[in-house]
């Protein structure tokens, strides 16, 4: 038997209460809340005002039972403090929020085991779809998703095997092109600074290596790889080590802008002229890159568009549209050539 409300306790407002107050049907109220594009702007604003006035809270559990859908999407990203993924989440929200979907965010902390645990936890909420960062999930993780028939889209990378739906760009090609830029400027002793060492960093390293090998000037001793989280301070430390061990190095390609800004800071503190004595290039083109002194050469990545396009593709799958013939959406990247190189 359903529990009775305690005597004296106020009754929670219902969908029908909102509809009666506005003078429309309950279906219209539901559309305004869950598919706002199907209702005129004026009516939607009127309905939302009454929702606020009455304190109505939609019952998502009831909605799930009626529609066999949860209107939730699980999104797994490796960091909640990295601007790259914050921008990606903004793109995802831009698509899913107006369609009434709630986002369940999981922070994997660059840990494969944690990613699998988080995904299984989110799957207990029966999400209608999943957005994953990268393509290197454990086989059992992907098999579990396939078994449940939940659509998934992978972000930030492209899959050379064409096995999964991906929205991103070639990390390797980006690493190669920024290194080729440094080579074209006449630099030959080019170091690589890598931190965290997640799959995307290692793909950038592959591009760096291929560019230098093609030019006949690759030197393994100039690769500095540190598994610690990437921070400006780490960039300063890595520069100190590089200058002590290889003072003839004339350029540094950093796996991200945090390290690169650290290198610029270290150069300013020790009187190293940039780029006359040492050229510096970063990756991602964060906001601070253009305002550094000198302005930082970097690779502009389409992180917001990755989230937007991945969510758009997932929305098509969740709403029963045909699976796209093109399984890899390559959004490309742009070199931002500035004073540091």
CATH number at residue 25: 1.10.260.40
Q: Band the pLDDT of 66: cuts 50, 70, 90.
A: very low
200 and 283 within one domain: yes
Tokens encoding 248? 């003839």
pLDDT at 181 over 70: yes
| Residue 183 CB neighbours (<10 A) | 16
Q: What is the mean pLDDT of residues 279-296?
A: 97
To the nearest 10 degrees (0 to 180), the angle between helices 26-34 and 15-22 is 110
Sole residue written with tokens 């990755």: 306
**Do 176 and 285 have their domain in common?**
yes
- Does the pLDDT of residue 112 top 80, yes or no? yes
- What pLDDT does residue 2 have? 44
Beta strands 298-300 and 334-336: pairing type?
A: antiparallel
Contacts of 310 (CB under 8 A, 6+ apart): 91, 92, 131, 153, 154, 155, 167
Count CB-CB contacts under 10 A for residue 311: 29
One domain for residues 220 and 151? no
5 in a structural domain: no
Question: For residue 112, is it within any domain?
Answer: yes
The single residue listed with the structure tokens 């610690």 is 228
Average pLDDT over residues 85-101: 95
Same domain, 175 and 295: yes
Tokens 């290889």 appear where? 246
> What does the buried/exposed string (b/e) look like for 86-101 if buried means 16 or more CB atoms within 10 Å of the residue's CB?
ebbbebbbebbeebbb
Q: Are residues 265 and 224 in the same domain?
A: yes
| Domains in the chain, number | 3
Same domain? For 318 and 253 the reply is: no
Judge whether 6 lies within some domain: no
Q: Are residues 163 and 255 in the same domain?
A: no
Name which of 218-222, 253-257, 269-273, 320-324 the model is least confident about: 320-324
Domain that holds residue 220: 171-300
pLDDT bin (cut points 50, 70, 90) of residue 3 is very low
Any idea which of 28-32, 163-167, 276-280, 293-297 has the lowest mean pLDDT?
Answer: 28-32
- Exposed, middle or buried by CB within 10 Å (0-12, 13-18, 19+), for 323? exposed
Say yes or no: 187 and 165 in one domain: no
């Amino acid at each position: 038997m359903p529990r009775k409300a305690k005597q004296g306790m106020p009754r929670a407002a219902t969908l029908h209460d909102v509809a009666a107050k506005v003078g429309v049907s309950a279906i219209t109220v539901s559309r305004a809340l869950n598919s706002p594009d199907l209702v005129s702007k004026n009516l939607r604003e009127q309905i939302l005002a009454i929702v606020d006035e009455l304190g109505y809270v939609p019952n998502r559990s009831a909605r799930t039972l009626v529609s066999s859908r949860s209107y939730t999407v699980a999104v797994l990203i490796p960091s909640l403090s990295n601007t790259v993924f914050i921008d990606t989440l903004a793109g995802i929200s831009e698509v899913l929020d107006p369609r009434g979907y709630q986002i369940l965010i999981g922070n994997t902390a660059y840990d494969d085991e944690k990613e699998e645990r988080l995904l299984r936890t989110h799957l207990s909420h029966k999400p209608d779809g999943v957005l994953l960062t990268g393509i290197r999930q454990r086989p059992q993780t992907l098999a579990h998703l396939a078994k449940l028939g939940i659509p998934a889209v992978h972000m930030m990378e492209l899959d050379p095997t064409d096995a999964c739906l991906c929205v991103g760009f070639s990390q390797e090609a980006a690493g190669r092109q920024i290194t080729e830029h440094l080579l074209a400027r006449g630099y030959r002793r080019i170091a690589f600074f890598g931190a965290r060492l997640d799959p995307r960093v290692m793909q950038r390293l592959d591009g760096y290596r291929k560019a230098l090998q093609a030019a006949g000037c690759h030197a393994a001793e100039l690769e500095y790889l540190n598994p610690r989280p990437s921070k400006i301070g780490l960039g300063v430390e890595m520069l100190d080590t590089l200058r002590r061990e290889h003072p003839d190095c004339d350029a540094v390609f950093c796996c991200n802008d945090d390290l690169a800004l650290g290198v610029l800071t270290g150069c300013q503190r020790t009187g190293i002229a940039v780029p006359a004595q040492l050229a510096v290039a970063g990756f991602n083109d964060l906001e601070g890159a253009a305002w550094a002194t000198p302005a930082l050469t970097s690779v502009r990545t389409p992180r917001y568009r990755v989230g937007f396009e991945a969510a758009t593709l997932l929305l098509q799958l969740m709403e029963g549209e045909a699976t796209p013939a093109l399984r890899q959406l390559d959004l490309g990247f742009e070199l931002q050539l500035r004073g540091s190189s």
